Amino acid sequence: MKVAFLTAPEGVEQAELTDPWQAVEKADGTPALVCPKPGKVQAFRHLDKADTFPVDAVVADTSAADYDALVLPGGVANPDFLRMDGKAVAFVRAFFEQGKPVAAICHAPWTLVEADVVRGRTLTSWPSLRTDITNAGGIWVDEQVKVCTGGPNTLITSRKPADLPAFCGAFLEEFKKA
């Protein structure tokens, strides 16, 4: 199982990148860090700089066809940057078009809203995204983890870093089915 982790060059919440990454590795999967720019990704712990991580692939040089699934970590700045990058948005949309599972946590559903893939889907997120998701045609719920199979693919979402154990368990289970 090859899993793309799409992040911006900076602003990703470190735990929302590293915990799912380690879960994929423990499940004998191959995670790959995909970013709009080459080099390194600067992670954050809330508003403080944390570690950096090497980029494995640049969005413009790869495609959803190269992966079995997609994880979108959160952080406030991360999805806000990604939603302004047309190639990153198209990369996300392609996973839905190809029927591949997608997992998103915290603020990451902003990128899903921009990709216009939440219409008719039930998902959760950080509470401040509720209005955006609803306005984009999605159904927002306040749950630790939500698995939505009512669409072209399976969508797994969670609210916050405290939900990471449930999030990782749910997306691994769904990714194995794909």
Task: Report the C-alpha gap between 157 and 116 in whole angstroms.
Answer: 16
The answer, yes or no, to whether residue 132 has pLDDT greater than 90, is yes
Evaluate if residue 150 carries a pLDDT over 90: no
For 30-71, the pLDDT digits (tens) are: 999 999 999 999 999 999 999 999 999 999 999 999 999 999
Q: What is the mean pLDDT of the chain?
A: 97
Domain ranges of the chain: 2-177
Could you identify the residue written with the tokens 């983890």? 145
Span 6-14, average pLDDT: 98
Confidence of residue 151 (pLDDT cuts 50, 70, 90): confident
Angstrom distance (rounded) from CA 94 to CA 97: 5
Known catalytic residues are 106-107
The topology (CATH level 3) of 2-177 is Rossmann fold (3.40.50)
Q: How far is CA 110 from CA 39, 69, 73, 83, 89, in A?
A: 24, 18, 11, 7, 10
